[in-house]
Structure 1
Amino acid sequence: MTESRTTLYIVYTALGILLFITLFPIALMVLNSVKPSTQIVENPLAWPEVFRWDNFTRAWDDARFGRTLWNSVVLTTLTIVLVCTTGSLSAYVLARRKIKTWKVVTFYLLATTTAPIQLFLFPLYFGFARLGLINNPLAVACIYTAVYSPFAIMLLRTYFLAVPKELEEAALVDGATHWQVFRRVFLPIVSPGILTVALIIGLYSWNEFLVATTFLQGRDRLTAVVSFFQLSGQYTSDWGEIMAAALIIVLPVVVLFVALQRRFIEGMAGGSVKG
C-alpha cells in the first residue's frame, strides 16, 4: 500500500513538473501581451504596471491579421482536405489489399517522412516559378500534402487494419462495390483516426513557415505566421505587440484542440493498434 502511494506521488509530481514546463511559456506570453515593451525588457516576469490592451489592436492592424488569418485558414483547410482524402484512400488500399512490395512501400513512406523539406525547396521553387504557381495557395497545399501524407497514411492504415474483415466480406456479398464499402462501411468506423490526422496536419500547416514564406510572397497572400515574423524589426522590436500577436495566432489552435481533445485522445489510442 505504501509503495503504491509512493509511486502515485512520484507520478503526480512528474506530471506536475511537465504541466508547469508546458504552461509556463503560454502564461508568460499572456502576461507580456498586456505590458509595455520597456517593462518586458526590464523584467518579463513582473506583473504589468499598466495594462496595454492596445497591444492587440496594433498587432491586428500591423500584421494585417484580418487578411493573413483568413489566408492561413484557407491554406490549412485545403491541406487537411487533400491529406485526409489521399491518405485515407491510400491507407485503405494498403491495409485491405495484399501488396507484395509492402516492405518497399514502408521504406519509402518512412524515408519521405524523415527527409527534410529543405532538400526539395530549390527544385520545387524553380519548377513552380516556371509553371506560374508562386503565390498560389492550392500549389502550397499540394506541397504540404506531399510532405504530410506519408505520416497520415501510416497512421490511418492502422485504423483500417483494425476493422474486422467480416464487415467488408458481408458488404461485398450484399453486392456493394469496393468504393461503397470504403465510403459506407470503413469511413464511419475510422472517422476518429481521420479527425486525429486532420488536427495534427492542421496544426503543422497553421504553424509552417519555411514553405509559406518561400512560395507565398505577395502581400495579400501572406499567412499569419509569416506576417507575425515581419513584426520583428531589424534593430528594435515592440515586444508587447509581438506577444499580443503571438497570442492571437495561438488562441484559435488552443480553442480548437480543447474542444476536440477527447476525440483526439481516442483517435491516438485507436491508432496504436499494430498492423
Structure 2
Amino acid sequence: MAVASKKKRFGVNFVIHLVLIILAVICLAPIALVLINSFKTNTEIVRNPLTLPVILHLENYIQAWKNGNYAVGFLNSIKLSGCTVIIILIASTLAGYVLSGKRVKGSGGILLYFMMTMTVPIQLFLFPLYFAYAQLNLIGNIPATSFILAALYMPLSVFLMRTYFLNVPKELEESARIDGADTKQVILRIMMPVVSPGMITVAILIGLQSWNEYLISSTFLQGAKNFTATLGFLAMNGSYGADMGIMMAAAFILIGPIIVFFLLTQRWFVDGMVSGAVKG
C-alpha cells in the first residue's frame, strides 16, 4: 500500500514538473531568440533566425543604445515608475488601512466604487485628461503623468493592501491604542512593518506595469526628451525597423533590466502574494 502511494505521488510530481518545464520553455524561448538574434546581422537573421551567431556583433547594442536614446529613456522610465510607485504606496496603504476595519461610514460603497472603476477603460478619459493637462501646461511633465498612472492602478492596489491589513490581528492595534498610540503611530510603527510584504508586492507590480506602460506615456509625454525607454524603442520602428539585429538588441536592452529586477525581487514578491492570500 505504501509503495503504491509513493508511486502515485511520484507520478503526480513528475507530471507537475513536466508541465512546469514545458511552460518555462514556452515563456523563455522567445526571450532566448531575441538574445541570440541581437548578436547577429540582419542578413543572418533573415537567413535563419534559429541558428547561433558565428560572430558576436556587439555593435548592435551600441547602435541600439544610441538610436533609441536609452540614456534619456531609462532615466525618464525610472522617474515615471518611481513617482507612480510612491504615490500608489502612500495612497493605497492609507486607503487599505481605513477600508479594512470599516473605520469610515460607507466603506462598502467605497469598495464597490473601486471595483466598478476597474471595469472602466482608460480610453474614455484620455480626451478630457489631455485637454486639462494641456490647459495646465503639463504635457511632457513626468511627475504629473505619474498621477494618471497612479489613478489607473489605484483600485487594484487598494484591494491588495486592504487584504494585507485584514490579516493583521485586531488585538495588535488595540494593544497599541491602550498604550497611548495615536492613529499616525499605529499606522507607521505598528501596521506598516507588518504589511511591508504587501507593500513590496504592490511596489513590484505597479513598478513593472508603469515601466511597460505605453498608452498614457505616449499621449502625455510628447517630445524625444520626455520619452521613456519603451517609447524610445517604439520610435525606432520607423527608421531602424529594417535592421532586425539592432531592433533585437534594442528589445533586449529594454526587457533585460525587467528580467533582472524580477529575479532579484521574486522572493519578496512570492512571499507577499502568499501572505496576502488568506482573507479577501
**Normalised TM-score (structure 2):** 0.94
* Pairing 1:12–2:11 present: no
- Give the aligned partner of residue 161 of structure 2: 156
- For residue 177 of structure 1, the aligned residue among 169, 182, 192 is 182
- Give the aligned partner of residue 231 of structure 2: 226
Gaps of 5+ in 2: 1-5
Q: Deviations over 1:41-70 (max 9, x none)?
A: 222111113321100000011111111110
Distance 1:234 1:71, change over 3 A: closer
- For residue 265 of structure 1, the aligned residue among 262, 265, 270 is 270
Q: Deviations over 1:214-245 (max 9, x none)?
A: 10002211100001001112795211111111
- Give the aligned partner of residue 46 of structure 1: 51
Q: For 1:72-151, what aligned pairs fall within 5 Å after superposition? A: 72-151=77-156
- Give the aligned partner of residue 198 of structure 1: 203
| Deviation of the 1:176 alpha carbon | 0.9
Conserved? CA contact 1:63–1:231, under 8 Å? yes
Distance 1:235 1:253, change over 3 A: closer
Conserved? CA contact 1:152–1:197, under 8 Å? yes
- Name the aligned partner's letter for residue 184 of structure 2: W
Aligned length: 275
1:124 & 1:273 partners in 2: Cα distance?
Answer: 38
* Pairing 1:66–2:75 present: no
| Deviation of the 1:106 alpha carbon | 2.4
Conserved? CA contact 1:231–1:237, under 8 Å? no
Runs of 4+ that moved beyond 6 A? none
2:177 & 2:241 partners in 1: Cα distance?
Answer: 67
- For residue 21 of structure 1, the aligned residue among 23, 26, 33 is 26
Conserved? CA contact 1:75–1:141, under 8 Å? yes
- Name the aligned partner's letter for residue 216 of structure 1: L
| Deviation of the 1:114 alpha carbon | 2.7
Distance 1:145 1:224, change over 3 A: same
- Name the aligned partner's letter for residue 96 of structure 1: G
Q: For 1:235-254, what aligned pairs fall within 5 Å after superposition? A: 236-254=241-259
Conserved? CA contact 2:240–2:247, under 8 Å? no
Conserved? CA contact 2:88–2:154, under 8 Å? yes
Conserved? CA contact 1:36–1:50, under 8 Å? no
Identity %: 44
1:230 & 1:102 partners in 2: Cα distance?
Answer: 45
1:237 & 1:202 partners in 2: Cα distance?
Answer: 32
1:235 & 1:90 partners in 2: Cα distance?
Answer: 46
1:107 & 1:170 partners in 2: Cα distance?
Answer: 31
**Bigger mean CA offset, 47-56 vs 106-115:** 106-115
- Name the aligned partner's letter for residue 61 of structure 2: F
| Deviation of the 1:99 alpha carbon | 4.6
Conserved? CA contact 1:193–1:271, under 8 Å? yes
| Deviation of the 1:84 alpha carbon | 0.5
Gaps of 5+ in 1: none
Distance 1:235 1:60, change over 3 A: closer
Q: Deviations over 1:108-127 (max 9, x none)?
A: 21222232211111111111
RMSD: 1.4
**Bigger mean CA offset, 171-180 vs 106-115:** 106-115
1:237 & 1:173 partners in 2: Cα distance?
Answer: 69
